[in-house]
Amino acid sequence: MLNHVSIGVRDIARTKRFYDAVLTPLGYKCLSEGDTSLGYGRDAVALWIGTADHPVPSDEKSGLHFCFDAPTRNSVDAFHAAALRTGGRDNGRPGLRGDYGPNYYAAFAVDPDGYRIEAYCGVAVS
């Protein structure tokens, strides 16, 4: 349904360090890099990040978050650990979320700009 999502941030270098660390375990990489923009994906850019004078203010009650597919449960764990190690905040430790489905294994974090992100793996055992 969606081709890509774009978000604005204040510090592109800090953001690159963070997203390189959290997305690499999920199999995503920086496919496009400029002075003021980054593009992440596997085969094509699905997440564009650019510097912005007025990024969307962080609002944990908004319901807005971005969920990234993860190939394994171990990669979900690595995503979460990398988020905490590189300036993100915990927003839900890795684990099964039975309310979402029997194999819904996910972790949640908040990036340095306040965007809520999730890594999800639906594989029964990985």
Which domains are seen in the chain, by residue range? 5-53+64-121 (3.10.180.10)
Q: Name the band, by pLDDT with cuts 50, 70 and 90, for residue 58.
A: confident
- The structure's pTM equals 0.94
- The answer to whether 79 and 26 have CB atoms below 8 angstroms apart is yes
State the average pLDDT for the chain: 95
The answer, yes or no, to whether residue 97 has pLDDT greater than 70, is yes
Degrees, nearest 5: CA angle 12-15-20: 120
What pLDDT is recorded for position 124?
86
What 59-62 contacts at long range (C-beta under 8 Å, 24+ apart), as own/partner pairs, is 59/114, 60/110, 60/116
The answer, yes or no, to whether residue 7 has pLDDT greater than 80, is yes
pLDDT digits (tens, 9 = 90+) for 10-50: 999 999 999 999 999 999 999 999 999 999 999 999 999 99
